[in-house]
A and B are shown apart, each in its own frame.
Chain A
């Protein structure tokens, strides 16, 4: 498995997590009036294990994607690393601090951006929130102006900072949230679904921006997302969590290599093919008129392709990896089978 800390030396690891576990007690609210009345006297509760002993080391300057189905424990991990909640078991160190002790010295050196949460003042222009951040993080005024202008220009939102935040679109707001979070030049940045609900253009702008800022500052970034586009554009390293456990930790290239057994071959033929002949070559995902999409084992591709080009009259051909989404979905499912529902009745 990929381990940046090993390459950069132990002292260069910015985040170190060992055996981190978090249990929540949840109360079931029964359906119906009578049951609700009964629940006044006795409530059924159970423990949900959001995280079940996670080990993770992240080196300085790494850009890590944290993937997992809903409820896998991604956000719980980010909340633990940013000190919002305390764990049930285990240890964590971020920039040499225990996050949930919430030392000011620690809090000045990282930032958390949640895609569905506002840190900007709703009724005021973003410029006012930025000014407050300048004071809170004690940023030198001249330096502050320089950084703010740089960030705002990179995202092309200079015109928006004097407009009340409530009047802005979701994408515009997200961009300003990012500016607010990066003003104090955090060494570590946690991004929780930063592109959720954004259009393609806004997503692209944010990708370019994050890549630029991260490379320039050598910032350590952990990103949770459901969009593989985010992952492909930004991260070299991938951590997959399901059921509160790490299922995969390694490079993006490696996951494609390890978990794809097939290639996707798309053919544009001159005429409709003979179905039986096509099926002999590979598994047909789609045959629509002269357009054929085939799934072919990787080991056979070198044999099958020449045969195809020889026997069929091919106008166009493309060979691609199975989409990342599919690989990851496969991983999620295998994780589901492995870990039983993370519950302990009590």
Chain B
């Protein structure tokens, strides 16, 4: 009827995107204030992997077998380097404890008062956090992967690379919504650091950060016909470290790969809604601490 007037639904959408873009830009600027700390933190991340490689070297020299559960010495090094890459996407340092802190000290109030969505704000600042991190970490990562290139199998096909990238992106979202939900439990518990600690522990065991999850394939879970690895595959944790690495190394392929990508995507959706519900219920219960 009236072509001059913008469709009313499009305008708020666009404005939402612009807010998000500004939040991202400002978060990047804020992150850059601490670039020195970032650079140091990046280097520190390489240290644990060195100990892990030494540990497995010792394991391999103690046994006469050439491989353990399908992994030889080279595979292990490649595996740990790859999980480090997936954790660069999925780990969210300080996210849950930061949310809980802002609930406790009352700084969350401004997100209740201003017409802005807290979760999208957190997402923007986390994307900013990651982008700055990648900018700083790209060179050392590239150098390490180049030096260790002999441990890796030949480059996989393009379709595997695409699946790998999708799994990394999903692992970012999964890690984000998991930790955000965990932080919002702060509306009920105020202090979530022990919860976060418990989560980290389970995460460390079941994400593949400690050992490749398919090493559990031979252990029965107690449910007839399923191994522990099958059970872990239904949980969200392995998608934050093991899964992307396994995709790159060609450990999961074809229909199995599609199925697991769908499980990962389903967890992202579940945690997205869990996060929304926690926010809705939590803010209703919130009593506005801190003056």
Contacts and interface: CB of A to CB of B under 8 A. Distances in A.
B291 interface: yes
B109 A135 contact: no
Interface in A122-156: 123-124, 128-129, 131-133, 135-138
3 tightest A-B CB contacts, nearest first: A107-B115, A104-B115, A135-B22
A121 B291 contact: no
Contact of A112 (B30, B107, B113, B284): B113
Contacts of A118: 107
Interface string B14-37: 010011001100100110011000
Interface string A91-134: 00000000000101001100110101111010110001101110
A111 B286 CA distance: 20
B287 A121 contact: no
Interface of B: 15, 18-19, 22-23, 26, 29-30, 33-34, 106-107, 109-110, 112-116, 284, 286-288, 290-291
Contacts of A111: 113
A117 B22 contact: no
Given A117-B110, A124-B30, A164-B33, 17 more contacts: A85-B286, A85-B287, A108-B115, A116-B291, A117-B106, A117-B291, A118-B107, A119-B114, A123-B33, A123-B34, A128-B26, A131-B26, A132-B22, A132-B26, A135-B23, A136-B115, A137-B115
Interface stretch (A1-9, A76-84, A252-260): A76-84
Given A117-B109, A121-B30, A135-B22, A75 B15 contact: no
A132 B33 contact: no
A217 B26 CA distance: 30
A42 B7 CA distance: 58
Interface residues of A, number: 34
B26 A79 contact: no
A118 B108 CA distance: 10
A83 B18 contact: no
B251 to A, nearest CB: 43
12 contacts: A24-B287, A79-B288, A82-B113, A84-B286, A104-B115, A117-B291, A118-B107, A124-B29, A124-B33, A128-B29, A132-B22, A137-B115
Given A82-B113, A84-B286, A135 B19 contact: yes
Contacts of A135: 15, 18-19, 22-23
A86 interface: yes
Given A107-B115, A128-B26, A136 B19 contact: yes
A24 to B, nearest CB: 6
A83 B109 contact: no
Given A84-B113, A107-B113, A131 B22 contact: yes
Contacts of B284: 86
Nearest to B283: A102
A131 B34 CA distance: 21
B287 A123 contact: no
Contacts of A114: 109, 291
A272 B113 CA distance: 61
Interface string A156-167: 000000001000
Nearest to A109: B115
Contacts of B287: 24, 85
Contact of B15 (A85, A107, A121, A138): A138
Nearest to B19: A135
A84 B33 CA distance: 31
Contacts of B288: 76, 79, 84-85
A257 B33 CA distance: 57
Nearest to B33: A123
B26 A124 contact: yes
A121 B34 CA distance: 14
Contacts of B26: 121, 124, 128-129, 131-132
Nearest to B117: A104
Contacts of B109: 84, 112, 114, 117
Contacts of B291: 75, 114, 116-117, 192
A136 B291 CA distance: 25
Contacts of A133: 114
Nearest to A133: B114
Nearest to A76: B288
A132 B23 contact: yes
A289 B16 CA distance: 71
Nearest to A134: B22
Nearest to A131: B22
Contact of A119 (B15, B22, B110): B110
Contacts of B33: 123-124, 164
Interface centre among A24, A75, A111, A123 (most CB of B within 10 A): A123
